[in-house]
Structure 1
Amino acid sequence: MSATQEMGTARSAAETLVWSRGLLDPALREVVAELPPVMRRIAAYHFGWRDEEDRPARGGAGKAIRPALTLLCAEAVGGTAADALPAAVAVELAHNFSLLHDDVMDGDLTRRHRATAWSVFGANAAILAGDALLAAAFEVVAAAPGPAARGAVGVLSRAMLELVEGQSADMAFEERADVALAECLAMASGKTAALMGASCALGGMFGGATRERVERLRAFGEGLGLAFQLVDDLLGVWGDPAVTGKPVYSDLRNRKKSLPVVAALASGTDAGRELRTLYLAKEPLGDAELARAARLVEDAGGRAWASRRADELMTGALAELAMAAPEPPAHRELDAVARLVTRRDH
């Protein structure tokens, strides 16, 4: 237990993420160091530790929200962050597997303000590096000490199956003229919410929680994950590239059926109908068309709906967290991190 917790005071969300990163990074680096040489080099570049020439670097590695949730959920049920560290490393590896693959599938050239791994090393190499991270994730969690490890493999496996199914649906939606909002929500539940829910459940398991408390934590994570995806989709249209590290109108350029876009297309409004005509055209969208598409999504109500739905999901997620009877100050820290990630600008 940390000194902060022993004194009964909660860290701020920013302090919590720094604390989590401080625990995570040394263990994560140890795992990556054991990868085969080519995979190790690409992974180290992707995490921001090395540059294109394999020299030490200080690139951004993201907030590491999922492992932070894992560590906090272990503390919330009376365990320690150290108990849950293998699970935290595993979920971060699994998440970055998905990012490496996403960048290839989306054709994105930048992530975290630097060139994506596939654009530096090639698509095939980046895909294989992602596969290596996923294999390492299962190896880490399977080798973890304690009785939770065996069940944890199944939890992580199920989450990854849901994630790849969600990603598959996301890609398929780009080729379809009509996507129902319910379908889009189901896709996001798999693509994003499943792993975030598993991150919280794994923390509870390694913290020694009962099955009921684990399921409450999973529900908290899933609700938070769907809210997170809604915010991410909003940033994919209206986020500032200087802050997000992704190209302007990235999701619109790729004609993604993101949640605010689908809400706009299904709105039955004039703006929604105009957006459909523009969005489903065969020609690539230029800068003027992309800006127009963003305005139409907003005019059709997609932006307002996504913001409102994210708030509703957050309310439900925090209610689930409360029903897990978390111990203070971990409860307050989980609440603070949840609010931070659903009100972020990148």
Structure 2
Amino acid sequence: MGAPTDARRLLDRCRALVRPALREAVGRTHPWVGEMAAYSFGWCEVGGAPADASGGKGVRQALAVLGAEASGAPGCVAVPGAVAVELVHAFSLLHDDIMDGDTARRRRPTVWKAYGTGPAVLAGDALFALAVETLAVAPAGPAAVRLLSGALRDLVRGQADDLLFATRPWSGPERMRPREYRAMAEHKTGALLGCAAALGALLGGAPPATVSALDRAGRHLGIAFQVVDDLLGIWGDPAVTGKPVYGDLRERKKTFPVLAALDSPASARLSALLESATDPGAAAALIEESGGRSAGLAEARRQVSAAEAALAEVPLEAGAAADLRSLLDFLVRRDL
């Protein structure tokens, strides 16, 4: 229990450092838009009454702070970068929930469900604008904005691929392959994680090689993080994940364990089960029997090893580097 407890304390420390600046940024926007943003962060209920709901782990802001500390700078210099990536992450979730039709997030109605689709789009746009503004006025602002812009480009590319993959068949030459999934996950999830750590290093005055190594480490973490989400979406405990049993299979999502299992001799039987989506329990059993679950675990471990190798390429402050590795391990071993 020691390592998870240490990682949670680390996340708490970084959130406490960043939260005042994040609240200040949200407070600069229109009051109604600010309320929707505050609701998305778990700070208030619909109508503005104070709340203390979960706003997420704060992984990206922690990566930014640790990126600065690993470069030998105080974590406070990374706060503008941490705020920017947290705002962009919130913006992406608001829009993702609309695109996916998701009605709940962290056991509460999503912003579009609570306020309406148009208002939720507007709130997402405001958060994106605030992120750019926050970085533009920071030291090393132009370089930081370029870094964030590149991550946003990749994030949009990954989201576009994810939407297009939903239309691909389960079988035949046009079906999705695991390598395509990896590229999608790197862009959709890894780009912003890598950007967070790289922004911290950049704002901390690190050399380009260190900024690049932290970016690559975050991208590998993003793939691992997404694969673990896929595993939890099929086999996770609903009391812990907040997701229904076999929820991803009922929604016919093309997750990594599914794609890996479709490379097995049971692909024809599995594709028929997935196409019908009438017996997710049987599909889950066949995915596991066909090696999908073990392939997902192996992929997550492979990506974590690649992230650790990227961190080992450059000199980093020992304590902060250890914190980064502790965080990697904690995020990928979630209830598996």
TM range (shorter): over 0.9
Moved over 6 A (4+): none
Query: Residues 71-150 of structure 1: matches in 2 within 5 Å?
Result: 71-144=65-138, 146=139, 148-150=140-142
Q: Which residue pairs with 1:278 in the alignment?
A: 273
Does the alignment pair 1:252 with 2:249?
yes
Aligned counterparts of 2:231 and 2:330: Cα–Cα separation in 1 = 15
1:171 and 1:73 map into 2 onto residues whose CA distance is: 32
TM-score of the superposition, structure 2-length normalised?
0.93
Identify the residue that residue 190 of structure 2 maps to in structure 1.
193
1:331 Cα shift?
A: 1.1
1:170 touches 1:257 (CA, 8 Å); kept in 2? no
Q: Distance in 2 between matches of 1:263 and 1:103?
A: 26
Query: Aligned-pair distance for 1:57?
Result: 0.6
**Residue 163 of structure 2 corresponds to residue 171 of structure 1:** yes
2:7 aligns with one of 5, 13, 17: 13
Aligned-pair CA distance for 1:238: 1.8
Structure 1 residues without counterparts, runs of 5 or longer: 1-10
| Residue of structure 1 in register with 2:48 after alignment | 54
Q: Corresponding residue for 1:153?
A: 145
Residue 240 (structure 1) aligned with residue 230 (structure 2)? no
Please say which of residues 72-81 and 102-111 is displaced more in the overlay: 102-111
User: Once the 2 structures are TM-superposed, how far is the Cα of residue 27 of structure 1 from its aligned partner?
Assistant: 1.0
1:212 aligns with 2:206: no
Judged with a 3 Å threshold, the aligned counterparts in structure 2 of structure 1 residues 247 and 120 are, in CA distance, closer, same or farther, namely farther
Structure 1 residues 127, 254: CA separation in 2 closer, same or farther (over 3 Å shift)?
farther
Of the structure 1 ranges 292-301 and 213-222, higher mean CA displacement relative to structure 2 is found in: 292-301
Q: 2:309 aligns with which of 319, 322, 339?
A: 319
Separation (CA, whole Å) in 1 of partners of 2:60 and 2:273: 36
Unpaired stretches in structure 2, ≥5 consecutive residues: 170-174
Q: Percent identity?
A: 46
- The one-letter amino acid paired with 1:327 is E
The answer to whether 1:23 aligns with 2:13 is: no
CA apart distance, 1:168 = 1.1
- Find the aligned partners of 1:269 and 1:308 in 2 and give their Cα distance: 20
Deviation string 1:293-343 (CA, Å, 9 cap, x unpaired) is 222222221111010011111112112112221112101111111110011
Distance across 2 between alignment mates of 1:227 and 1:163: 16
Structure 1's 25 and 246: CA in aligned 2 closer, same or farther, altered over 3 A? farther
Residues 196-246 of structure 1 deviation map (CA, whole Å, 9 limit, x = unaligned): 111111111011111111111111111111111111111122222221223
Residues in 1 aligned to 2:259 and 2:282: alpha-carbon distance in whole angstroms: 16
Describe the superposition over 1:13-67 as per-residue Cα deviations: whole angstroms up to 9, x where unpaired: 1211110010111111111111212211211111111112321111001111011
Q: Does 1:67 align with 2:61?
A: yes
Cα distance in 2 for residues equivalent to 1:124 and 1:252: 30
Deviation at 1:251, TM superposition (A): 2.3
Q: SS at the partner of 1:262?
A: helix
Give the one of 280, 283, 289 matched to 1:290: 280
Is the 8 Å Cα contact of residues 89 and 137 (structure 1) preserved in structure 2?
yes
Q: Give, as a single letter, the amino acid of the residue that structure 2 aligns with 1:224.
A: L
Residue identity opposite 2:264 in structure 1? G
Structure 2 match to 1:4? none
Aligned residues: 327
- Aligned-pair CA distance for 1:256: 1.6
1:336 paired residue among 305, 317, 326: 326
Deviation (angstroms), 1:104 = 1.7
Q: Is the 8 A contact 2:54 2:106 kept in 1?
A: yes
Task: Tell which deviates more after alignment, 232-241 or 149-158.
Answer: 232-241
